[in-house]
């Protein structure tokens, strides 16, 4: 995952500062392709879709680019509705520390200011990396994440199974993302 994150960090410049990931589609590739490691699939109306390839895996990333002077939606912390008590009955899945985030973005070469400061946002690729390393997802061959809200450092997160191969990730405040997996045999 770190290799893919480094390739994605190749998008440099003011235009990409503050970009937010809206969707990730990761898959394990059995055959290596000849395409360049970073390929822009679409760049229209402030939505950038890129494909990143690495050692045996491909990642399709949909990002929302900020317009100059536009406040980032992620800069506003949550809607405050809180999650239900039944969600809290599940064990906390993970709490990302500031140092864990800092170490990941440093290794990836990620300079997005959203992942820095007093309340850094957990990078979507770090969240994906942690999910793929979890015992419940290790045999996964494909995973899709659709982000609704950002996860912040030091907040507990819950992964809750839904119908079939679907799951949701919650913070104490809200649903952060919805995911779907396809497992390998």
Q: What is the pLDDT of residue 173?
A: 81
Q: Model confidence over 44-68: pLDDT tens digits?
A: 999 999 999 988 899 999 999 976 5
C-alpha dihedral (61, 176, 28, 92), degrees to nearest 10? 150
Q: Model confidence over 88-131: pLDDT tens digits?
A: 677 889 999 999 999 999 999 998 899 999 999 999 999 999 99
pTM: 0.86
Instruction: Please write down the HEC assignment for all residues of the chain.
Output: CHHHHHHHCCCCCHHHCCCEEEEEEEEECCCCCCCCCEEEEEEECCEEEEEEEECCEEEEEEEECCCCCCCCHHHCCCCCCCCCHHHHCCCCCEECCHHHHHHHHHHHCCCCHHHCCCCCECCHHHHHHHHHHCHHHCCEEEEEEEECCCCECCCEEEEEECCCCEEEEECCCCEEEEEEEEECC
When computed from its CA atoms, the radius of gyration of the chain, rounded to whole angstroms, is 16
CA distance 125 to 46: 20
Q: Which fold has domain 2-67+80-183?
A: Thiol Ester Dehydrase; Chain A (3.10.129)
- What are the structural domain ranges in the chain? 2-67+80-183
CA distance 181 to 145: 9
Average pLDDT for the chain: 85
């Amino acid at each position: 995952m770190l290799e893919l994150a480094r390739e994605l960090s190749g998008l440099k410049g003011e235009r990409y500062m503050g970009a937010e990931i809206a969707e990730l589609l990761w898959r394990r590739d059995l055959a290596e392709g000849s395409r360049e490691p970073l390929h822009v699939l679409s760049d229209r109306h402030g939505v950038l879709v890129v494909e990143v390839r690495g050692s045996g895996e491909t990642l399709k990333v949909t990002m929302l680019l900020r317009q100059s002077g536009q406040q980032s939606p992620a800069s506003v912390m949550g809607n405050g509705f809180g999650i239900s008590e039944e969600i809290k009955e599940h064990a906390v899945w993970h709490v990302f520390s500031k140092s864990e985030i800092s170490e990941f973005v440093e290794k990836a070469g990620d300079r997005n200011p959203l992942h820095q400061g007093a309340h850094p946002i957990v990078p979507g690729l770090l969240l994906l990396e942690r999910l793929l390393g979890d015992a419940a997802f290790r045999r996964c061959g494909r995973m899709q994440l659709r982000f609704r809200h950002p996860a912040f450092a030091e907040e507990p997160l819950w992964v809750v199974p839904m119908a079939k191969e679907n799951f949701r990730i919650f913070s104490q405040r809200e649903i952060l993302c919805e995911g779907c997996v396809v497992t390998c045999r």
